[in-house]
């Protein structure tokens, strides 16, 4: 029991040690951070006698805090203030997390029902292109999102037909879907928009301006101008948690992903459940892609998702196949990207390394170092009805 408390205290101390080196506290000497982090190491070592993972986690975080704070005290004060403007960092984190969160929630739906979805990347790309296409064609972003939903759903349906009905290998089918999405979106993009690119006057999903937070307050800068789709994604987390873990439909979906034979025996339609889950998964991923195009930049370029579908897949695993876990993972990954985006003010090259962070963390997570993440039992196995 004491070991456990010590482990958490170590983690907290390590976090404080890192925090005081950057604005607003901005202690211009590494000594206090090193003392705090040293304490954290000691607590972690004590915790490791019982709670091994927690203790090691605290020690690792403390060492990172020492490295970080030494680096911070060595770099210029104004640079630090530029990077660590917390309200702007939070706003940026939410922007980066939104598309990932949509796609990760989609991934959870599909994988919870027992279908591995490597095709998230392609489904996002479909949403990104057809969001713009629909918005351009119908003149409103609502139309854009509707077209994106249909396009993502259709591509997911292809994955569903092959992996559920035809019992194809789901990894291969997902890979195929990614190639197809690249080809389809690229082909129509070049054929319809050619060299000029998508028009400038695309109707975009509006930002929600929360006036009472004030325009120059911390909260106002952080969340006062977040996009409508960001709020939608955040609301989907409790909603999907409720659906998956508190409703009959959710129980059935999870049953199909864990023990399809048993689910079938009690009269649940395994095939239909999986079809619905995979199609919804594609629609959610498409919303994530649409956020990138109609939500954020207002244009499309070929392969604009650039591997975000795979980060979303990483978030599914890192978040242990739970919506709340995916939220934490995507916020963490989003924060990492936000830092990568702001760090170039003093080092372009280290900033790039933050892009790799989500993948490294996930690799560590699947290796079971920080708590084992376990997939649904029948994830990836086609179901054969007897």
**Toward another protein, which CB reaches closer, 38 or 380?**
380
Give min distance, CB of 306 to another protein, in A. Answer: 8
Hey, which residues between 152 and 191 contact another protein (CB under 8 A)? Answer: 158, 162-163, 166-173, 175-184, 186-187, 190-191
| Closest to another protein by CB, 23 or 380 | 380
CB contact at 8 A, 37 and 20: no
**Number of amino acids touching another protein (CB under 8 A):** 54
Determine the Cα–Cα distance for residues 141 and 320; give it in Å rounded to an integer. Answer: 33
For residue 71, state whether it binds another protein (rule: CB under 8 A). Answer: no
74 is a site residue for another protein (CB under 8 A): no
335 binds another protein (CB under 8 A): no
> Is 220 a residue that touches another protein (CB under 8 A)?
no
Counting every residue written for the chain, the total comes to 386
CB of 233 to another protein, least distance (A): 22
Which of these segments, 58-66, 74-82, 257-265, 378-386, binds another protein (CB under 8 A)? 378-386
Q: Which of 201, 267, 384, 386 binds another protein (CB under 8 A)?
A: 384
CB of 2 to another protein, least distance (A): 29
Binder among 310, 321, 335, 383 for another protein (CB under 8 A): 310
**CA 21 from centroid of its chain's CA atoms:** 28
Task: Indicate whether 197 belongs to the interface with another protein (CB under 8 A).
Answer: no
Q: How far apart are CA 81 and CA 72, in angstroms?
A: 11
Q: Which residue has the tokens 């960001």?
A: 230
Question: Does 137 sit near another protein (CB under 8 A)?
Answer: no
Task: Pick the piece of the chain touching another protein (CB under 8 A) from 52-60, 90-98, 142-150, 308-316.
Answer: 308-316
When asked if residue 345 is in the footprint of another protein (CB under 8 A), the reply is no
Residue where the block lists tokens 């590494």: 30
Per the listing, tokens 């291969």 go with: 172
Q: How far apart are CB 250 and another protein at their closest, in Å?
A: 24
Q: Which residue lies nearer to another protein by CB, 224 or 282?
A: 282
Helix, strand, or coil here: 227?
strand
Give the residue, chosen from 118, 278, 283, 294, that forms a contact with another protein under the rule CB under 8 A: 118
DSSP string of 142-208? HHHHHHHHHHHHHHHHHHHIIIIIS---HHHHHHHHHHHHHHHHHHHHHHHHTTT-S-TT---PPB-
Judged by CB, which is closer to another protein: 14, or 103?
103
Helices 270-290 and 228-246 sit at what angle, rounded to 10 degrees? 160
Count of C-beta atoms within a 10 Å radius of residue 248: 8
Nearer to another protein, 40 or 340 (CB): 340
Largest CA distance in the chain: 70
> Do residues 49 and 80 touch, judged by C-beta distance below 8 A?
no
Among 362, 376, 378, 383, contact with another protein (rule: CB under 8 A): 362
114: left (phi over 0), alpha (psi -120 to 50) or beta: left
CB 215 within 8 A of CB 224: yes
- Helices (H), ranges, 248-376: 248-258, 260-265, 270-290, 308-318, 323-342, 348-366
Shortest reach from residue 166's CB to another protein, in Å: 4
Residue among 86, 193, 231, 359 that touches another protein (CB under 8 A): 359
How many whole angstroms separate alpha carbon 69 and alpha carbon 78?
16
> Is the torsion defined by CA of 80, 360, 93, 128 positive or negative?
positive
DSSP state of 106: H
CB of 257 to another protein, least distance (A): 15
Q: Can you read off the two tokens belonging to residue 360?
A: 């490294």
Minimal distance, residue 164 CB to another protein, in Å:
11
Kindly state whether residue 198 participates in binding another protein, applying the rule CB under 8 A: no
Contact footprint for another protein (CB under 8 A):
116, 118, 158, 162-163, 166-173, 175-184, 186-187, 190-191, 302, 306-307, 310-311, 313-314, 317, 347-350, 352-353, 355-356, 359-360, 362-363, 366-368, 375, 380-381, 384
């Amino acid at each position: 029991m004491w070991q456990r408390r010590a482990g958490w205290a170590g983690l907290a101390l390590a976090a404080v040690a890192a925090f005081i080196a950057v604005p607003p506290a901005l202690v211009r000497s590494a000594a206090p951070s090193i003392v705090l982090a040293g304490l954290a190491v000691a607590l972690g070592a004590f915790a490791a006698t019982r709670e091994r993972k927690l203790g090691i986690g605290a020690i690792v975080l403390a060492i990172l805090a020492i490295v970080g704070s030494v680096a911070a005290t060595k770099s210029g004060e104004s640079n630090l203030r530029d990077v660590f403007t917390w309200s702007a960092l939070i706003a940026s984190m939410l922007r980066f997390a939104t598309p990932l969160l949509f796609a990760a929630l989609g991934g959870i739906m599909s994988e919870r029902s027992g279908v591995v979805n490597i095709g998230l990347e392609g489904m996002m790309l479909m949403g990104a292109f057809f969001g713009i296409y629909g918005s351009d064609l119908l003149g409103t972003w609502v139309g854009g999102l509707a077209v994106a939903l249909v396009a993502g759903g259709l591509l997911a349906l292809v994955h569903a037909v092959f992996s559920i009905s035809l019992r194809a290998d789901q990894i291969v089918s997902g890979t195929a879907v990614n190639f197809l999405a690249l080809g389809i979106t690229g082909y129509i993009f070049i054929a319809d928009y050619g060299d000029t690119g998508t028009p400038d006057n695309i109707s975009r999903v509006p930002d929600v301006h929360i006036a009472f937070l004030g325009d120059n307050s911390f909260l106002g800068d952080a969340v006062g101008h977040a996009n409508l789709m960001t709020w939608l994604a955040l609301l989907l987390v409790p909603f999907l948690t409720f659906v998956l873990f508190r409703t009959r439909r959710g129980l059935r979906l999870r049953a199909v992903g864990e023990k399809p034979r048993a689910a079938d025996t009690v009269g649940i339609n395994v095939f239909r459940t999986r079809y619905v889950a995979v199609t919804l998964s594609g629609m959610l991923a498409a919303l994530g892609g649409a956020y990138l195009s109609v939500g954020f930049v207002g244009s499309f370029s070929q392969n604009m998702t650039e591997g975000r579908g795979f980060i979303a897949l990483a978030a599914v695993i890192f978040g242990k196949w739970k919506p709340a876990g995916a939220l934490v993972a995507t916020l963490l990954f989003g924060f990492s990207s936000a830092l990568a985006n702001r760090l170039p003010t003093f080092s372009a090259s280290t900033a790039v390394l933050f892009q790799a962070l989500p993948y490294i963390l996930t690799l560590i997570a699947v290796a079971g170092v920080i708590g084992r993440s376990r997939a649904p039992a029948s994830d990836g196995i086609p179901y054969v009805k007897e």
